[in-house]
C-alpha cells in the first residue's frame, strides 16, 4: 500500500480539501501559501479600505462579522474596529458545546470591542438529535456546526440589511490551495453546500428528508420548523440586500501565531487551559469540545489523517516547524482515539462505544484503509 505525500508539508494526496501536485511533488496548498511572500500587502490593505468605504452607513451597522470567539474572530474584529474604524454587528452560531475558556472569550467580545453581538443558540434537544444524525448520515456529528456557521450570519445580514460580511480565512484555500490569492475569492452558497456541508442540506435531516434519502430508520422526529436556523436565505432575499462575504486573509498577511500573540496581549484572549488529546496546538477550535476530539477522530477514520496533520502543514508553511518535526506530530497524534472526549460525546447523545465503532467503520475510505487479520491498516508518511 502506497500513498503519495507532499514533499514540502505532510499532506497525503487523498485529503479533505482537494490537492494537486506539481512536478516537484509540492501540493497546491503549499504553492498558494508561497504566493503570500510576494504580495504587496500595503496595497491590498488600501484596496480593502476603499472597498469598505462603499459600505459605511450613518444609520446601520457598517459590516457584519461572523464570530466564534476564537483567535480569528478577535483578529477580524480588531482590524474592523481599530484599523478600519467600522461599526460591526457580531454574529455567532452557538452549537452548545463550547469549552469554558471559549465561552469566556465569546462573551467578552461585546465588552472589549464595544459592539453589539447576536448569538443564535438552537434548542439543545434538537442539537443532540442533529449530532446523532450528522454522525450516522454523514460521519460528522458537527455537521450542524458547519451549517449554522455558514447560514446564521447570512440570515442576519438579510434581516438587518447589512450587505458586507467579513470572514477570516477561506479554509479550503488555506489548507489545499483551492483558490489563488490573485482570485480575491468571496463567500458563495455553492462552496457552503458542496464543501462545508458536503452536499447535504437541512431538509435531508427532517423525517421527510430521511425518507427520501432511503434512511427512514434514522428518523429523529425533526420538522422544518425545528431547523429554521439552518435554512439558507433565497437568492431574491440575498440580492435585495446585496449580501457579499469577503475574506480578510486576501487583504492582510495571515499569521495565526502572530495574531494569537496580538489578541492575547491587547484583549486578554485565552487559549485552551488543557492540552488536547489529538493535536498539539492550544489555540484552535475552542468553540466546540468535540471539534479537536471525536469529530477529528472521524476524519482520521474516513481519510487517514487528522488535525495534527492540518496544524503541522500550517506551521511548516509558516516556517515555524520543519517537515521532520511535522511528521513527529502526525505520528504522535493522528491515530489517537480520544478517550475523555469520546465518553463525553457518547453520554451526550446516548450511544455505546461498540455502536459508535460500527458506524465509524462504515465510513472508512477504501483508498486509504484495508483490513488485515481483523485490524485496519493504512500507509503512513514515515513508512
Ligand atoms: Zn504541501
Cα 145 to averaged position of ligand 1 atoms, centre (Å): 27
- 62-100: burial string, b at 16+ Cβ within 10 Å, e else: bbbbbbbbbbbbbbbbbbbbeebebebbbbbbbbbbbbe
**Is 308 inside any structural domain?**
yes
Cα 227 to averaged position of ligand 1 atoms, centre (Å): 38
Cα 190 to averaged position of ligand 1 atoms, centre (Å): 25
Quickly state the pLDDT bin for 3 (edges 50, 70, 90): confident
33 pLDDT above the threshold of 70:
yes
pLDDT for res 109:
98
Nearest by Cα to 73 from 245, 255, 263? 263
pTM (2 decimals)? 0.96
DSSP symbols for 177-235:
--S-TTS--B--HHHIIIIISTT--GGGGSHHHHHHHT-GGG-----GGGGGGG-PPPH
| Residue 45 and residue 186 in one domain | yes
228 pLDDT above the threshold of 90:
yes
| Residue 98 and residue 235 in one domain | yes
Condensed to tens digits (0 to 9), the pLDDT of residues 76-113 reads: 999 999 999 999 999 999 999 999 999 999 999 999 99
**Is 377 inside any structural domain?**
no
Rounded mean pLDDT of 47-52?
98
**Is 264 inside any structural domain?**
no
Task: Return d(Cα 39, Cα 56) in angstroms, integer.
Answer: 27
Name 89's bridge partners.
64, 116
Q: What domain range is 23 assigned to?
A: 1-36+275-369
Quickly state the pLDDT bin for 1 (edges 50, 70, 90): low
193 pLDDT above the threshold of 90:
yes
**Could you tell me the CATH number of the domain that includes residue 139?**
3.40.50
In sign, the C-alpha dihedral spanning 185, 188, 194, 198 is positive
Task: Return d(Cα 232, Cα 227) in angstroms, integer.
Answer: 11
| Residue 76 and residue 101 in one domain | yes
Condensed to tens digits (0 to 9), the pLDDT of residues 334-364 reads: 999 999 999 999 999 999 999 999 999 999 9
Termini Cα distance of the chain = 10
Cα 85 to averaged position of ligand 1 atoms, centre (Å): 37
**Is 263 inside any structural domain?**
no
Cα 8 to averaged position of ligand 1 atoms, centre (Å): 5
* Location of C-alpha cell 502572530: 258
Cα 12 to averaged position of ligand 1 atoms, centre (Å): 9
| Residue 216 and residue 144 in one domain | yes
**Is 382 inside any structural domain?**
no
Cα 163 to averaged position of ligand 1 atoms, centre (Å): 35
> What's the domain count of the chain?
2
Amino acid at each position: 500500500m502506497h500513498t503519495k505525500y507532499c514533499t514540502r508539508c505532510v499532506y497525503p494526496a487523498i485529503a479533505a480539501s482537494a490537492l494537486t501536485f506539481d512536478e516537484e511533488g509540492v501540493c497546491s496548498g503549499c504553492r498558494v501559501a508561497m504566493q503570500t511572500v510576494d504580495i504587496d500587502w500595503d496595497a491590498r490593505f488600501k484596496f480593502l479600505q476603499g472597498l469598505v468605504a462603499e459600505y459605511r452607513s450613518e444609520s446601520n451597522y457598517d459590516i457584519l462579522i461572523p464570530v466564534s470567539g476564537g483567535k480569528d474572530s478577535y483578529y477580524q474584529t480588531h482590524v474592523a474596529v481599530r484599523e478600519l474604524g467600522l461599526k460591526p454587528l457580531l454574529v455567532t452560531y452557538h452549537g452548545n458545546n463550547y469549552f469554558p475558556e471559549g465561552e469566556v472569550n465569546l462573551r467578552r467580545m461585546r465588552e472589549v470591542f464595544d459592539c453589539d453581538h447576536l448569538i443564535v443558540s438552537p434548542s439543545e434537544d434538537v442539537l443532540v438529535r442533529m449530532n446523532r444524525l450528522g454522525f450516522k448520515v454523514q460521519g460528522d456529528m458537527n455537521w450542524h456546526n458547519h451549517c449554522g456557521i455558514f447560514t446564521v450570519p447570512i440570515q442576519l445580514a438579510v434581516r438587518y440589511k447589512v450587505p458586507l460580511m467579513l470572514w477570516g480565512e477561506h479554509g479550503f484555500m488555506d489548507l489545499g490551495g483551492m483558490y489563488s490569492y490573485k482570485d480575491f475569492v468571496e463567500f458563495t452558497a455553492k462552496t457552503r453546500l458542496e464543501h462545508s456541508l458536503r452536499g447535504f442540506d437541512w431538509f435531508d435531516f427532517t423525517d421527510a428528508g430521511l425518507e427520501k434519502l432511503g434512511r427512514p430508520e434514522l428518523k429523529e422526529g425533526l420538522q422544518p420548523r425545528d431547523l429554521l436556523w439552518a435554512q439558507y436565505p433565497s437568492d431574491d432575499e440575498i440580492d435585495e440586500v446585496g449580501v457579499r462575504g469577503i475574506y480578510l486573509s486576501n487583504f492582510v498577511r495571515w499569521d495565526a501565531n502572530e495574531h494569537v500573540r496580538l489578541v492575547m496581549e491587547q484583549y486578554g484572549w485565552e487559549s485552551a487551559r488543557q492540552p488536547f488529546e489529538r493535536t498539539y496546538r492550544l489555540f484552535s477550535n475552542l468553540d466546540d469540545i468535540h471539534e479537536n476530539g471525536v469529530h477529528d477522530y472521524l476524519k482520521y477514520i474516513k481519510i487517514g489523517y487528522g488535525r495534527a496533520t492540518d496544524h503541522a502543514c500550517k506551521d511548516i508553511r509558516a516556517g515555524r516547524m520543519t517537515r521532520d518535526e511535522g511528521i513527529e506530530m502526525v505520528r504522535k497524534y493522528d491515530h489517537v482515539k480520544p478517550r475523555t472526549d469520546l465518553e463525553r460525546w457518547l453520554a451526550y447523545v446516548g450511544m455505546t462505544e461498540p455502536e459508535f465503532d460500527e458506524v465509524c467503520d462504515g465510513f472508512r475510505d477504501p483508498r486509504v484503509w484495508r483490513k488485515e487479520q481483523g485490524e485496519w491498516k493504512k500507509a503512513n508518511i514515515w513508512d
